[in-house]
A = this chain, B = another copy of it.
């Protein structure tokens, strides 16, 4: 942690992002190109994300399991679109135990194929359905341009894989998990997301339909933050996942898959962060409140620390994730900057004057700051008595404010361009919400002209018909065009 200022977001958003990740000690570069080390603070954030999602998965009837890291190369080749989509980015094990392998093994880029193989063994009858399994795993995709959290060779995610007796059930599952992701993103991450359908060009390799949640980052670029795929019978046919139905007729299953990854940490950073550093939503923050004791002389220390220890115990007992920063080798000012960089939602200062008055000073991370320090407006003085309840209320309020702020920012950067010329302007600093004829040609042209891609056709459509913003032909869907991560 250095005391240098971050590069401001409006100077170089990308550089700002990289600096935050390193200085807040969320992650570091690994010695292998494109790989990352998730440091303890970043991993604690991921663990909170995992818990919030896992609880939702279990509430919707899913169980966890673990499938192998290695997939025989021949498995990937069984689903034509799938292998085309993934073969350029595979890491391949060719040597095991000192010997060249007869069949090379792929390090999983995703697990539809190997899970499909196992499901074909496990599923016999309609009584075995639905199968609702998730796994928390590392996967590898050999990306050329990498960014910490956003796109790394190895990343961490969960991948759900389900098998159903009917198309309708599988489509419902796809939608249910999209809703789970949106609920998680909005209510835990304070990241407002839009649910929608991906275009044919942007969908998952091997899916019939891909749905996603899309979020707007602080530079207005879009980040696909979670995906849910209806796979039809594509993988069931490739891997022979069949069951005997109630009439004793052999049928292919209908399958889905859905995933959310450590990329979401990037979404949190770029949705909420400011020029002082990270801002974490309280529900996911590893540390929700940090207590900074303030003292100058030895006799003060004992008195202050006594109160600090008592308050820490009270907050902890109330279920608040609290940390005391009792370092003696750095100044309170250094600590303030440090915890601001790390995005701790609430700072609690306790000094000799507070002891006299029976108060503490609270500084919210999300309120305006001046010259890199919290201004008056960011600080309040509250009684020590009842502090835990006050802190809990404030955390709830911060969570709410972050979501409102991000939603307002997003909504003020989405426009409905009157023509294509306006669209090309809009996507330089916002999203265009336009009618689109759903042809790949128009999609490609927009991308060539502006670097903006179709993000999703939102589930929530205005209805009616319009004219494609590019070609003017009849269109029945509106789509978001945006530059994306």
Contact = CB atoms under 8 A, between A and B. Distances in A.
Interface of A: 28, 30-32, 35-40, 42-44, 46-47, 63-72, 75, 87-98, 104-105, 107, 114, 117-118, 121-122, 127, 133, 137-138, 140, 142, 144, 153-154, 156, 329
Nearest to A141: B97
Given A95-B91, A107-B107, A154 B44 contact: no
A231 to B, nearest CB: 20
A91 B92 contact: no
Nearest to A35: B68
Given A31-B117, A68-B37, A97 B88 contact: yes
| Identical copies of this chain, number | 2
Given A69-B140, A92-B93, A93-B107, A44 B63 contact: yes
B96 A94 contact: no
Contacts of A67: 30, 37
A66 B156 contact: yes
12 contacts: A30-B67, A31-B117, A38-B65, A40-B65, A44-B64, A47-B64, A70-B154, A88-B98, A91-B96, A92-B93, A97-B144, A137-B138
Contacts of A138: 66, 69, 137-138
Contact of A90 (B36, B40, B91, B97): B97
Given A69-B138, A114-B30, A156-B66, A96 B92 contact: yes
B68 A36 contact: yes
B68 A30 contact: yes
Contact of A40 (B46, B104, B133): B133
Nearest to A63: B40
Contacts of A68: 30, 32, 35-37, 154
A94 B106 CA distance: 11
Given A30-B67, A121-B28, A96 B142 contact: yes
Nearest to A143: B97
Contacts of A97: 88-91, 142, 144
Contact of A31 (B37, B69, B75, B96): B75
Nearest to A127: B329
A402 to B, nearest CB: 25
Nearest to A38: B66
A92 B90 contact: no
Contacts of A72: 31-32
A105 B142 CA distance: 13
A243 to B, nearest CB: 15
